[in-house]
Amino acid sequence: MVYVVTEACVDVQDTSCMQECPADCIFEGGRMTYINPDLCIDCGACVAACPVDAVFYDAELPAEQEQFIEINERFFAEIDTPKSGRKAGKLDYDVDVIADLAPRKEA
């Protein structure tokens, strides 16, 4: 794993990160996006593109967000995805931890 999508993405899913990713390794789940660790090329383009600061380099991940390393990995272990996030479109699936979260309230 190189870059990790964290909790700030839940129920936001702006997808700007997907458009900027040259490796096309970001996939849109039901409630958040996920980075495929096997496809990520460690470029960091997604970090600057994220409007809610939800993407972190794994070594710089805040302690309270460390579970998202496993959450991103589990997404790809639990669902078959094509090799292209943009071509996949929105996948109606989330890891149980994300699916079970209370919906984020509108500001």
> So where are the chain's domains?
3-97
How many angstroms separate the Cα of 78 from the Cα of each of 50, 81, 86?
Answer: 25, 9, 19
Q: What is the pLDDT of residues 47-74, one digit of tens each?
A: 999 999 999 999 999 999 999 999 999 9
Which residues are CB-contacts of 72 (< 8 A; sequence separation ≥ 6)? Answer: 1, 4, 5, 34, 35, 36, 37
Neighbours of 78 (CB within 10 A): 12
* Whether pLDDT at 1 is above 80: no
Tokens in use for 58?
Answer: 């794994």
Q: pTM of the prediction?
A: 0.92
Query: Given 3.30.70.20, 3.90.79.10, 1.10.150.20, 3.30.70.2190, which CATH number is that of 3-97?
Result: 3.30.70.20
User: Of 5, 18, 13, which is closest to residue 88 (Cα–Cα)?
Assistant: 18
